[in-house]
Structure 1
Amino acid sequence: MTAPLVNNSNAGSDWAHHLRERLAQASLLDRERETGDHILNPDLGPYAKWDGPPRDAAVLIGLVETREGPNVVLTQRTGHLNSHAGQIALPGGKIDPQDKGPVEAALREAEEEIGLQPKRVELLGSLAPYLTGSGYRVVPVVGAITEITAFRPNPEEVEDIFEVPLAFLMNPANHQKLSRDWEGRQRYFYAMPFGERYIWGVTAGIIRSFYETVYR
Structure 2
Amino acid sequence: MQEMVTTPVLSAAEFFTRAGERLDLVMPQGLTDPNVIPKRGDHDADPVMEKIAAVRPIRPAAVLVPVVDHPEPTVLLTQRAQHLPDHPGQISFPGGKIEASDETPKHSALREAEEEIGLDRAHVEPLGYLDLYMTTLGYRIVPLVARVEPGFTLTLNPSEVDNVFEVPLAFLMDIANHQRHSREWQGVTRHFYAITFEQRYIWGVTAGILRNLYDRIYRE
How high is the TM-score relative to the length of structure 2? 0.85
Tell me, yes or no, if the aligned pair for 1:46 and 1:131 is still in contact at 8 Å: no
Tell me, yes or no, if the aligned pair for 1:37 and 1:46 is still in contact at 8 Å: no
Tell me, yes or no, if the aligned pair for 1:46 and 1:132 is still in contact at 8 Å: no
Residues 1:45 and 2:50 aligned together: yes
Residues 1:3 and 2:6 aligned together: no
Residue 204 of structure 1 and its aligned partner are, at CA, apart by: 0.5
- Residues 130-184 of structure 1 show CA distances to partners (whole Å, capped at 9, x for unaligned) of 0001110000000001241122211111100100111111111000101112233
Matched with 1:211 is 214
CA distance in 1, matches of 2:96, 2:170: 26
- Residues 8-31 of structure 1 show CA distances to partners (whole Å, capped at 9, x for unaligned) of xxxxx343122211225xx99xxx
- Residues 58-86 of structure 1 show CA distances to partners (whole Å, capped at 9, x for unaligned) of 0000011223x210000001100010100
CA distance in 1, matches of 2:109, 2:52: 22
CA distance in 1, matches of 2:200, 2:137: 23
Gaps of 5+ in 2: 1-7, 29-36
CA distance in 1, matches of 2:158, 2:48: 38
CA distance in 1, matches of 2:182, 2:70: 34
1:51-200 superposed matches below 5 A: 51-67=55-71, 69-200=72-203
RMSD (Å) for aligned C-alpha atoms: 2.3
CA distance in 1, matches of 2:211, 2:150: 27
State the secondary structure of the residue aligned to 2:23: helix
CA distance in 1, matches of 2:50, 2:18: 34
Matched with 2:41 is 36
Structure 1 residue runs of 4 or more that deviate by more than 4 Å after TM superposition: none
- Residues 113-134 of structure 1 show CA distances to partners (whole Å, capped at 9, x for unaligned) of 1101122211111111100011
Tell me, yes or no, if the aligned pair for 1:61 and 1:141 is still in contact at 8 Å: yes
- Paired residues in the alignment total 204
CA distance in 1, matches of 2:154, 2:9: 24
Distance 1:20 1:47, change over 3 A: farther
State the secondary structure of the residue aligned to 1:142: strand
CA distance in 2, matches of 1:212, 1:144: 18
Tell me, yes or no, if the aligned pair for 2:56 and 2:137 is still in contact at 8 Å: no
How high is the TM-score relative to the length of structure 1? 0.87
Tell me, yes or no, if the aligned pair for 2:38 and 2:134 is still in contact at 8 Å: no
Distance 1:52 1:132, change over 3 A: closer
CA distance in 2, matches of 1:58, 1:163: 20
Which letter maps to 1:17? T
